[in-house]
Amino acid sequence: MARPLRIQYRGAFYHVTARGNERKKIFLNTTDYNKFREYVKHSQEKHRFILHAYVLMSNHIHLLIETPEGNLSRVIHTIISSYSTYFNKKRQRSGHLFQGRYKAILIEKDSYLLELSRYIHLNPVKANMAERPEEYPFSSYRSYVASESDAIVARDLILSMISTEKKKAPSLYRAFVEQGLTEEIKNPFSKVYGGMILGTKQFIQDSLKKLAPETLHKKDVSARRQLHASLSLEEVVHLICSMLHISAKEIHGKHNRIRSFVITILKKQTSYTNSEIGQFFGELSYSAVSKIVERFEGELNADKELRKKYEKIKTDLSNVKG
């Protein structure tokens, strides 16, 4: 199974979901729900993360998390492993409680935090488990719109996005959420990029730059093809250079075999045009790029070791390209 790619850094925001194995229930009674909240609190004390919104459904969970320490994996591992141990011990069972690995979508705060909180709080209504979101007891919604406090939830950031006036914010937030009861609200996850990032194009590009090139070309990274599609030509060249273990400076200069190698890879394995490739390498004409590729393909046919190296880079790049 492909391993989900995690982009972790200080101050990152995530929408985290985890489902019961074979979609079975992970909460069987009120005690279970409360116990899970206890483990969330314990993880907060241990790892200093911030929970902005949540809902605990019978067979899955949604958490809207901020990680000031850049430690999402440790946060979720503490919660899920602790709760799984409790659940299995209480029911005298063994095996996985949750289905595979949890899913974490990196989100752009200013664009999607408010919208995702509404999605989370409307989950019980959409699942026909409550007629109104405030009727469902196992979510953070009541702490947003009523006087009911919730020790594990930080409401101020999301409420400040509704109004700068603290007294008005809860009622305005209620109206915002309830808008989803009468109007068709587009699912925000329809805009998720590469299965793991939700934000503007600039946010996606900035987020991907936080990944090391060697992380991107591992074969077990999920959604790798779509991830590569957002990289600029310069970033793709940098990625190829890292695969060849050379510096970017080494690919420039006329009659340079390494330059011909990279140009051929770009031409044959990416969607960049001759003009784009030629401009990157110093105003090479369309026909000049074609000739370089043609000559180098001749070298590949004559040199077994060179061909082997080329095929290796082609395979690695195909794991991340768009």
In tens, the pLDDT along 28-66 reads 999 999 999 999 999 999 999 999 999 999 999 999 999
User: How large is the average pLDDT for residues 95-106?
Assistant: 91
What is the strand order of the sheet 197-198 is part of? 50-56, 60-67, 12-19, 103-107, 197-198
pLDDT in the model for residue 237: 81
Give the whole-angstrom CA distance, residue 93 versus residue 275. 62
User: How large is the average pLDDT for residues 105-119?
Assistant: 95
Q: Report the percent of the chain where pLDDT is more than 90.
A: 54
Whether the pLDDT of residue 214 is over 80: the answer is: no
Whether the pLDDT of residue 133 is over 50: the answer is: yes
pLDDT in the model for residue 19: 94
Residue spans per domain, the chain: 12-198, 213-318
For the chain, the average pLDDT equals 87
pLDDT in the model for residue 196: 85
Return the higher-pLDDT residue of 201 and 24.
Answer: 24
Q: What is the architecture, at CATH level 2, of domain 12-198? A: 2-Layer Sandwich (3.30)
pLDDT in the model for residue 1: 45
User: How large is the average pLDDT for residues 312-320?
Assistant: 68
Whether the pLDDT of residue 246 is over 60: the answer is: yes
CATH class label, 213-318: mainly alpha
Asked if residue 264 lies in contact with residue 272, where contact means CB atoms within 8 angstroms, the answer is no
Give the strand pairing for 197-198 and 103-107: parallel
pLDDT in the model for residue 6: 80
Number of other CB atoms surrounding residue 57 within 10 Å: 20
Asked if residue 66 lies in contact with residue 12, where contact means CB atoms within 8 angstroms, the answer is yes
Whether the pLDDT of residue 134 is over 70: the answer is: yes
The token duo for 304 is: 């077994």
pLDDT-derived band at 322, boundaries 50, 70, 90? very low
The token duo for 129 is: 């488990």
Whether the pLDDT of residue 145 is over 90: the answer is: yes
Return the higher-pLDDT residue of 223 and 70.
Answer: 70
Asked if residue 36 lies in contact with residue 29, where contact means CB atoms within 8 angstroms, the answer is no
Helix, strand counts (H, E) of the chain: 15, 5
Return the higher-pLDDT residue of 3 and 192.
Answer: 192
pLDDT in the model for residue 213: 55
Return the higher-pLDDT residue of 320 and 188.
Answer: 188
pLDDT in the model for residue 252: 77
Return the higher-pLDDT residue of 262 and 269.
Answer: 262
Return the higher-pLDDT residue of 172 and 220.
Answer: 172
Give the whole-angstrom CA distance, residue 208 versus residue 205. 5
- Residues with Cβ within 8 Å of residue 294, at least 6 apart in sequence: none
User: How large is the average pLDDT for residues 103-129?
Assistant: 95
In tens, the pLDDT along 162-200 reads 999 999 999 999 999 999 999 888 888 888 887 788 999
